[in-house]
């Protein structure tokens, strides 16, 4: 992990991990010297050579503290590397962000993280190096962990550079003995103290960042996370609480949390009064016919989310107002071969086919649902044909990346996309297998919650010859 040297007669030799014969005795950890050592390769190798089963509780804690310092030092080293990468990818326009809007798209597939996670790491790295260098140095020495470094970045993100530096001066000295929540409170108080007139300005800056995010969770669940002005968020939560309390009647078995969640769903999905426009929503799920019949418990697939339990898929299938479409999948790979419609113009059917095949944006790691993606010609039209073999779903950001940067993409057989980054790294994305061997039928199921609609895509086993669509104007 780290390279280090040992001051001895053989100081020029690389330090090697101790062999089992020379492994440090467990009581060497108990004297307090390990957690006080500076993070290094020597410390890392010595700690990993210990046998946890031989350590006492005090020794385990001592070694854990020492290892946390090594981890912090490694994270600081990586952040410095990311800050360097950000400098190598300058912003397209001066006066805005500190690095190119496409820089995170190179980091994300290389580290196997999402683009948002890569963007967060790049922002953290540049902020620490440019605005809070002493905090980055403390992280490198293992005096604070990454969560506390992130706290200082969060609190000072909208402050002027001189105010951020003043906050750092005031709170960093005690940060090593505080928890992250304690440090956050101290940093907030310090920021108000050094910039009492800036609170309103910072609030307006953050207000412009208000948003709602969809976050998939496990077991067929998901989160909707809203970033709102504190007053509005408090009022919304209190209203949900009031509705939940009204719903607590004799015989009610739902918990307060469940009643609040149900009230949230009803408020958003129920028809509204006062002349508001009714919005029809559609949700697409794919499930095998054998699962619908109850013959097995294979999961369905919810577009934009992923696998959902069989009971959830059957619940959607049992809703009223169901319209059906046929999907034919490959009997071995489960990849889409054909997406049928009862009536269609060829361009619309071709677009449906490509989006059903792709499921999500085809850039490595991107989970943006294909239903709201652009359809891009891998080889530009008219040189390349308007056909499934030359079309791919790209979210608007990655569509722009393809045309505005040095990224290149080649579509291979069976809908595989090979992307090459500006540094020459290659990434292969294959279409997701929609199902086990099956012909599928799509149900646009209107699962009614009041007057709102959701659509479901249901898969039925069987055989059907593939349908080939040609002609028409290019979808994009």
Which pLDDT score, from 0 to 100, does residue 293 have?
74
**Window from 11-20, 55-64, 264-273 with minimum mean pLDDT:** 11-20
Angle at Cα 214 formed by Cα 85 and Cα 334, nearest 5°?
90
Domain ranges for the chain: 211-269, 285-445
pTM above 0.95, yes or no: no
CB 445 within 8 A of CB 317: yes
CA-to-CA separations, 198 to 128, 132, 188, 191, 407, in angstroms, rounded:
21, 19, 12, 9, 41
Residue-level pLDDT at 328: 52
Mean pLDDT of 5-23: 35
What is the per-residue pLDDT for 334?
A: 60
Summarised one tens digit per residue, pLDDT across range 95-119 is 667 899 999 999 999 999 999 999 9
- The pLDDT of residue 300 is 74
User: 280: pLDDT confidence band, cut at 50, 70 and 90?
Assistant: low
Give the Cβ contact number of residue 32 at 10 Å: 10
C-alpha pair distances (Å), 394 with each of 38, 112, 116, 325, 360: 47, 19, 16, 24, 8
Nearest 10 degrees: CA dihedral of 126, 82, 123, 118? 180
Give the pLDDT band (50/70/90) at residue 439. very low
| pLDDT score for 290 | 73
Query: In the chain, pLDDT over 90 holds for what percent of residues?
Result: 47
- CA–CA separation, 108 and 114 (whole Å): 6
CA atoms within 13 A on the CB side of 79: 28
Predicted confidence band of residue 472 (pLDDT cuts 50, 70, 90) = very low
Residue 318: predicted pLDDT: 65
Write down the pLDDT at residue 389.
87
pLDDT tens-digit profile of 383-435? 888 888 889 999 999 999 999 999 999 998 878 999 999 999 999 999 876 65
| 455-466 confidence digits (pLDDT tens) | 333 333 333 333
* Rounded Cα distance, 112 and 91, in Å: 23
Average pLDDT of the residues of the chain: 78
pLDDT of residue 231: 81
* Listed ranges 18-27, 184-193, 311-320; the one with the highest mean pLDDT: 184-193
């Amino acid at each position: 992990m780290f390279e280090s040297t040992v001051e001895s007669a053989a100081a020029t030799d690389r330090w090697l991990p101790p062999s089992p014969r020379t492994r440090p005795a467990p009581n060497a950890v108990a004297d307090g010297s390990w957690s006080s050592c500076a993070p290094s390769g020597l410390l890392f190798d010595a700690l990993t050579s210990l046998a946890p089963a031989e350590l006492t509780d005090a020794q385990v804690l001592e070694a854990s503290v020492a290892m946390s310092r090594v981890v912090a030092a490694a994270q600081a080293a990586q952040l410095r590397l990311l800050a360097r990468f950000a400098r190598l990818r300058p912003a397209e326009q001066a006066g805005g962000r500190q690095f190119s809007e496409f820089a995170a798209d190179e980091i994300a597939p290389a580290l196997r993280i999402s683009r948002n996670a890569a963007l967060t790491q790049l922002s953290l790295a540049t902020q620490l190096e440019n605005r809070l260098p002493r905090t980055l140095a403390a992280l490198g020495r293992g005096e604070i962990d990454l969560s506390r470094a992130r706290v200082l970045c969060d609190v000072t993100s909208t402050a002027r550079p001189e105010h951020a530096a003043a906050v750092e001066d005031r709170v960093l000295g005690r940060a090593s003995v505080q928890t992250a929540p304690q440090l956050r409170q101290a940093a907030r108080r310090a920021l108000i103290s050094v910039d009492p007139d800036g609170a309103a300005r910072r609030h307006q800056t953050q207000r412009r960042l208000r948003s709602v995010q969809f976050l998939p969770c496990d077991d067929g669940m998901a989160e909707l996370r809203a970033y709102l002005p504190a007053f509005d968020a408090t009022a919304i939560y209190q209203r949900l609480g009031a509705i939940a309390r009204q719903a607590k009647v004799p015989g009610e078995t739902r918990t307060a949390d469940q009643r609040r969640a149900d009230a949230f769903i009803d408020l958003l999905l129920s028809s509204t009064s006062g002349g508001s426009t009714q919005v029809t929503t559609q949700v697409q799920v794919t499930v095998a016919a054998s699962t619908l019949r109850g013959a097995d418990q294979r999961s369905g697939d919810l577009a934009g989310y992923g696998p959902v339990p069989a009971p959830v898929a059957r619940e959607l299938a049992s809703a009223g107002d169901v319209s059906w479409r046929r999907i034919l999948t490959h009997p071995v790979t489960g990849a889409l071969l054909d997406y049928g419609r009862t009536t269609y113009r060829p361009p619309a059917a071709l677009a449906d086919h490509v989006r059903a095949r792709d499921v999500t944006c085809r850039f490595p790691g991107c989970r943006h649902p294909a239903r709201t993606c652009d359809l891009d010609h891998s080889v530009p039209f008219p040189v390349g044909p308007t056909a499934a073999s030359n079309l791919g779903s790209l979210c608007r950001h990655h569509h722009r990346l393809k045309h505005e940067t040095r990224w290149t993409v080649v579509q291979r057989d069976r809908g595989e996309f090979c992307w090459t980054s500006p540094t020459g790294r290659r990434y292969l994305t294959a279409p997701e297998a929609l199902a086990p061997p099956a012909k599928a039928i799509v149900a646009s199921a209107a699962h009614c919650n009041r007057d709102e609609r959701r659509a479901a895509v249901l898969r039925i086993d069987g055989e059907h010859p593939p349908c080939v669509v040609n002609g028409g104007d290019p979808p994009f």
